[in-house]
Structure 1
Amino acid sequence: MCGHGPLKKITSAEFRSRRRRRGRLDHLAARRLGRPYRGPLTSDPFTLGVASGDPEPDGFVLWTRLAPTPLADDGLGGMPSRVVPVEWELAADERFRRIVRRGVSAARPESAHAVHVELRHLLPGREYFYRFRAERYVSPVGRTRTAPPTPSALRTASDPGAETVRQETERP
C-alpha cells in the first residue's frame, strides 16, 4: 500500500489518459529546468510530413524528420533528447496489403531526428507507397515512383546481344 491508501481499480482508457498527461507534465518540467526530455513522444512527430527523391530505375530515397514543434527553442523540434526507432514500410498498393519492404531506422538527436532510407533492387517505372511509424504515431502515406528503365537496360533486356554489338561498334 506504500502509505497512499488502497489501490483503486481504473479502466485501461483512464490509465492511458493518465500516462499521456504524466508524459506531457514530465516534458514541461524538463523544459522548464533546462534539461533534455527523454520520455515518450507526447504529440505527433510527423508535422513536417514525408518525402522521397533521387529516383533511379531500381530505387529511391525516403525521408522524414520527427519534429512535433519544428521551431521549438530546444533545437530538437520538440523531440526528446534520445534516439527514436522509426519503422518504415514500402508497399505496392496504397492500402499496404502488398508490403514490398519494411525496416527500422534510428532517428538521432545529432541528425535532428531525420531519417533517410535508401532503397535499391526495386522494379523500374513502378509506383510505390510508403509510411513511417514512431511509437504510436503513423505518418501520412507518401507516393513515389522508380525511374523508368535506362535505354541500355531496355536494349539488353530485349536482345541480350544488342549491348555487346553496340560496344564493339563504338570502339576506336
Structure 2
Amino acid sequence: MAALETLLDPTGTDERTTDATLAPRPGSLRGLRIGLLDNTKANGTALLANIAELLRQTHGIGETRTYTKSYFGTPLADELRDRIAAECDVVVSAIGDCGSCSAATVADGVILERAGVPTVSICSDSFLMSGAAMAEVQGFPGFEFMTVRHPVASLDADGLRERAREAVPEVLRILGVEA
C-alpha cells in the first residue's frame, strides 16, 4: 500500500486559509484613505494613480497612500499588511499580468480582506485562471477580483488612462459603492 504524503501550500500561508468572509464594504468612498498596492510590475503604479484620480474626481476620496511590495511574485509581507490595515480604509492592488504576479495579487487581496480591509485586486484578463487558482489555494474560492484587458505593461499614458476608466466601475462594484 502506498504511503500518504503531506502536501504543503507553496505560498506559506496555510494557517490563514480558513476565513472566506469579506471585510465590510464602505458604501461610499467620500473622504476615505485609499491604499494603492503596487507589486512593482511595469505600469502598475501608473494604472493605480489613474484609478485613484478618477475616484477622487467622481467619489471624493480622501488621501491616497502608495505601497510597494518587495517582489511581485509573492504575497505581501505581514508587516506591510499590518501597516496598510492601520493606515487605509480600502485598497486597490495591481497589477497581475503574468502567472506568478497574478496569483500573488489575488493572495494580497485575500490577505488584506482577512485583515479587515476591503480590497480590489486587479489582474489582466489573460491571467484570470491564475488568479482564480490562487483564491482557491487561499481557501477563498469566491474571492472576487477583477481583470483589465491585457497587456498593461506596454501601454502608453493614454492607454493607461483608458484602462483606468474601464476599471473604475468594477472597482466600485467590488467595494460595494454605487457608480
User: Which structure has the larger Rg over C-alpha atoms?
Assistant: 1
**Larger strand share, 1 or 2:** 1
Higher relative contact order (CA 8 A, sep 6+): 2
Check whether TM > 0.5.
no
Question: TM-score, normalising length from structure 2?
Answer: 0.20
* TM-score with structure 1 setting the length: 0.21
